[in-house]
Amino acid sequence: MTKNSSAPDAIAFCVRCGNCMITRMVGDRPRRACPECGYVHFTDPKVGVGVLVVEAGKILLVQRKMEPERGKWSIPAGFLDQGEDPQETAVREAFEETGLNVTIEQLIDVYHNPPAQGGASIFILYRARQIGGALQAGDDADAAGFFAPNALPELAFESTQAALKLLAKHQ
């Protein structure tokens, strides 16, 4: 089973009774389930949120410190925390990764990434505007900076490439 499967092997023990979990069909999918008490583990999609910040025609990018795609550049982005509004995630990640305070202007699109790519399966992209702060790479990033659309560094993730292509078309 891959890590994005509906029945991840890592779910070894029942959270309700502690018994060993097994894999069985639940509806049309294999799921981890407890043969003792009947508890079924449902996997949730991972939701990523990103921000496109453009200033004087240049795009804010960060260099990734972590796998996947370590060393390549992407827009500031991160995972939605439980109970968090995705717009808050976007503002939080932009600040954590670049030191800039941003305000959300609009939703650009919602992308579905194939599970095989790893990372987020649902990716929400906002357009945002800088309202303060000072540009400085945060703990999650090796570097941060603004880049002209015709002088972009090596980009990570298909969603980043797609978003920037779209932007270039509208300028």
| Residue 14 binds Zn ion (CB under 5 A) | yes
Binding-site size, Zn ion (CB under 5 A): 8
> Comparing C-alpha atoms, which of 43, 44, 62 is closest to residue 52?
62
Pairing mode, strands 122-133 and 47-55: parallel
Smallest distance from Zn ion to CB 17, Å:
3
| Least separation in angstroms between CB 19 and Zn ion | 5
Query: Of these, 39, 95, 146, 147, which contacts Zn ion (CB under 5 A)?
Result: 39
**Tokens matching residue 169:** 């078309």
Q: What's the burial of 123, exposed, middle or buried (CB within 10 Å: 0-12/13-18/19+)?
A: buried
Of 147, 60, 140, nearest in space to 96 by CA: 140
Contact 155, 161 (CB under 8 A): yes
Least spacing, CB of residue 43 vs Zn ion, in Å: 17
Cis peptide bond N-terminal to 153, omega within 30: no
124 lines the binding site for Zn ion (CB under 5 A): no
By CB under 5 A, residue 15 contacts Zn ion: no
Question: Which of 4, 36, 104, 145 is the binder for Zn ion (CB under 5 A)?
Answer: 36
**36-44, 54-62, 87-95, 141-149 -> range binding Zn ion (CB under 5 A):** 36-44
Q: Site residues (CB under 5 A) for Zn ion? A: 14, 16-17, 19, 34, 36-37, 39
